[in-house]
Amino acid sequence: MLKTIHSAIFPLLCGGIVSFYSCTTTKAVADNDSQDISLKEAFKDKFYMGTTLNAWQLMGRRPEELNIAKTQFNSIVAENIMKSGRVQPKEGEFDFTLADKFVEFGEQNDMHIHGHTLIWHSQAPRWFFTDNAGDLVSKEVLTERMKTHIFTVVGRYKGRVASWDVVNEAIEDDGSYRQSNFYKILGEDFIKLAFKFAHQADPEAKLYYNDYSMANPRKRNGVVKMVEELRREGIHIDGIGMQGHVGLNNPDLEEFDKSLEAYGKLGKIMITELELSVLPSPWGDAGAELSDTYTYDDKMNPFPNGLPDDVQQQFTHRFIDFFKLFLKHKDNITRVNLWGINDGNSWKNNWPVRGRTDYPLLFDRENNAKPVVEKLIELAK
């Protein structure tokens, strides 16, 4: 399988389009590529191997990427097209054009389909929280809007989308509740209501709470406390999503392990948005607070023309270390999902600094499997 992707592209690649570094890296895959099984086959007894799909891919503009999704992965999640701002841009006006295509793609390819995300303060339309005068709406109005949104979206895909990120990013890194508009209007109840509505809309769907920096001890404590509280109140929640926007040095693997342990005691775990940035981080931590952005500076973009082999090796080792942890906790993990298919389409090229060249995913910019892919397949054995 990997050989097929590679042999179609390798001759083109080393014809001079890409840098020396990428060519040596790709060659290493060619020489060692004796594998004939895919990532999804290698991990099939452990957990789903998932990837993200975006609008361009679903509109047919990136057929090679879609092909990788089909051949290497058995689970999909929408990168943006199921967020509230996309499916309900105006109150009561739903647009499911791309979301329908996404779900159909998963069904046609016999994939597990994960829905992302129902209730999130970011990429939500303004109208959700405000009245005609622009003031925050009452508890009753917001509850009704949440109910309509969740019932319409989850209801449309009932029995087809297997699991949902019901609430995204409600806890701050210090473990306190984020002061989002949802929280300002409804307090902690917004989380309970969201899970209650999602469960009513599709009682069979698996329901998750999803967040970033989940290996941070203070955040871990906050999330554990919140989930225990939901359980005490009889709210249905199946598990926790650890986003997994990680870097070469952060987070600490021991802390990641402790979080897997702690969340595993509460339910199932999904590694929901995995990618491994090789670039320096402006604040030295791996997170995904979208409002934190930094101005471009050459020092922050060390590999514009290709990834040096030593960094590629660090990347491979670190990826393997994470997967060793996932395998250790495989009984609690239901899905490990890459946040994108190839390096060229990763959001990390533009966040937290715009215009950089990052290498965070399993396939390079020409859709070749990186050396790490074969190593992961070997590890799964």
Residues annotated as catalytic are 169, 273
CB of 298 to ligand GLA, least distance (A): 24
If one asks whether residue 273 binds ligand GLA (CB under 6 A), the answer comes out as yes
Show the DSSP H helices in 115-245 as ranges. 139-156, 181-186, 189-201, 217-232
- Contacts of 193 by beta carbon, 8 Å cutoff, 6+ apart: 143, 146, 147, 186
- Residues between 107 and 126 with contacts to ligand GLA, criterion CB under 6 A: 116
Phi, psi dihedral angles at 361 (to 5 degrees): -110, -175
Q: Could you say which DSSP state residue 191 is in?
A: H
Q: Exposed, middle or buried: residue 16 (CB in 10 Å: 0-12, 13-18, 19+)? A: exposed
If one asks whether residue 334 binds ligand GLA (CB under 6 A), the answer comes out as no
What H or E segment, with its residue span, contains residue 271?
strand 268-277
Amino acid at 85: G
If one asks whether residue 358 binds ligand GLA (CB under 6 A), the answer comes out as no
If one asks whether residue 288 binds ligand GLA (CB under 6 A), the answer comes out as yes
If one asks whether residue 343 binds ligand GLA (CB under 6 A), the answer comes out as no
Cβ nearer to ligand GLA, comparing 288 with 372: 288
If one asks whether residue 168 binds ligand GLA (CB under 6 A), the answer comes out as yes
CB of 107 to ligand GLA, least distance (A): 22
Phi, psi dihedral angles at 179 (to 5 degrees): -80, 60
Which of 25, 163, 180, 243 contacts ligand GLA by CB under 6 A? Answer: 243
Task: Give the three-state DSSP class for 293.
Answer: coil
Cβ nearer to ligand GLA, comparing 281 with 314: 281
Which of 43, 73, 157, 347 contacts ligand GLA by CB under 6 A? Answer: 347
If one asks whether residue 212 binds ligand GLA (CB under 6 A), the answer comes out as yes
Binding site residues, ligand GLA, CB under 6 A: 116, 168, 212, 243, 273, 288, 290, 347
